Chain A
């Protein structure tokens, strides 16, 4: 079945460090891929998305490229801030139709000042 695997956390970085959170997926069709962010005590917010191979999603300095050959969608940011501390979820949805989104287990990021 469809699934998402992302690196385990927590990830602890110093401010201005480079961030990579790995995400790989398994899907029977041609999924759309997403990164969601969850700040403490809040719901998930869409961070970025990519709908087809080689697309790059970007937002707030974060980027991720849809790599079909490696079935990956790694999240990167060149210089993290304390305010980036949150839990990051990789997710996929196959096809259109408003059906369920499959989430990874989440990676907690701590950024130290």
Chain B
């Protein structure tokens, strides 16, 4: 039973380019969460999605960042016109249902903006 998968594991972008981060939740999980981890800091919640719906995006920057979780395919976190401050590790987690206590994390995507 595969765990949460994220790709790419490492992504390098120049300032102004777009970054697309993908997350495939565990089989049977329909709830996805995105977190950002800056160097030497904890995880900060960004967005919570269910299939085709954004439930809570209170942690998402208002500009340049967007997320989706389509009916088919992985969840996508998209960062437009990246800046150096976007360099971080981005983690995706999934859970099977609304009552689940535990979230299962992917290995993360490390974004470096040059």
Contacts and interface: CB of A to CB of B under 8 A. Distances in A.
Interface of A: 32, 34, 36, 41-46, 49, 51, 89, 93, 96-106
A112 to B, nearest CB: 21
A43 B32 CA distance: 15
A41 B48 CA distance: 24
Given A43-B4, A43-B91, A97-B98, A102 B106 contact: no
Contact of B105 (A41, A45, A97, A105): A45
Given A49-B101, A97-B99, A98-B97, 18 more contacts: A36-B105, A42-B107, A42-B108, A43-B4, A43-B91, A43-B108, A44-B93, A89-B42, A93-B101, A98-B31, A98-B48, A98-B55, A98-B100, A100-B59, A101-B103, A103-B35, A103-B43, A104-B42
Contacts, number: 64
Given A49-B102, A96-B98, A106 B41 contact: yes
Given A32-B101, A44-B91, A46-B102, A102 B108 contact: no
Interface of B: 4, 6, 31, 33, 35, 41-45, 48, 55-56, 58-59, 91, 93, 95, 97-108
Nearest to B107: A43
A99 B105 contact: no
B101 A102 contact: no
Q: A interface, by DSSP: helix, strand, loop or mixed? A: loop
Contact of B98 (A45, A89, A98): A98
A44 B99 contact: no
B105 A44 contact: yes
A49 B102 CA distance: 9
A89 B56 contact: no
B112 to A, nearest CB: 15
B114 to A, nearest CB: 21
Contacts of A46: 102-104
